[in-house]
Homo-oligomer: A and B are copies of this chain.
Amino acid sequence: MRETAAAESRPYHHGDLSRALIDAARRLLESEGPSALSLRAVAREAGVSPAAPYHHFKDKGELLEAVAAEGWDLLNESLAAARKSANSVKDKLTALGVAYVVFARENPSLYRIMYDGSRNKEELPSHVHLEDDSAYCQVRDTLVEAGADPTDEIALELATTAAWCAAHGLAEMASFKQFDTLKSALGSEEAFLRGVFDHMRIFADDHGK
């Protein structure tokens, strides 16, 4: 009478329902978009009753936070990969910016979840800022590699913030139809992104010289 799927020796009845709920949520997010992501729909998708999630998450927001956390992990990986594959030191920061925006384009619903929770709490998840290979720290380290002065902490934080804001702003704008003509005039979306970044000192300069 046991379900054939899922791990055998997990805590209780279902076998790691929180994991299953997060997966169900991400499945729904990709197939139906953020507006279809109700707690009941997630429970339905996972095959449990509407109240079951409450034994694993305080409320809907806490489930979304767990989904968002996985989004941040994915973003970190994308950025790390872009950092490695960049040709020159000079190009690394732009590559990072492009990778950031491309991530948002390829995971639009997830990206939205990542920031929606933060906006309500008025702070980003702390591990985004603090952990060593977090997205924020990767940007900061890349700035240093590109020539920023690591001893001037305030300037470094400001520059990192500027880069982050630029990437986030572009990530939210790039999908607007208004830019279609510009994109096709430039030949590709990536050319458009690089074009925008090229108009920001942070993505073009060698920092102060």
* Residues of A near any B CB (own CB < 8 A): 112, 115, 118-119, 122-124, 129, 154-155, 157-159, 161-170, 172-173, 175-179, 182, 185-186, 192, 195-205
Identical chains in the assembly? 2
Q: Which of the residues B123, B176, B192 comes within 8 Å of A123, measured between beta carbons?
A: B176
25 A-B residue pairs with Cβ-Cβ distance under 8 Å, sorted by A, are: A112-B119, A115-B172, A118-B176, A129-B178, A154-B195, A158-B199, A159-B199, A161-B170, A161-B173, A161-B182, A161-B196, A161-B199, A162-B197, A163-B199, A164-B173, A166-B166, A167-B169, A168-B169, A168-B173, A200-B200, A200-B201, A201-B201, A201-B202, A201-B203, A201-B204
Tell me the dominant secondary structure on chain A's binding face: helix
Q: Tell me which residues across on chain B come within 8 A of A199, comparing CB atoms.
A: 155, 158-159, 161-163, 201-202
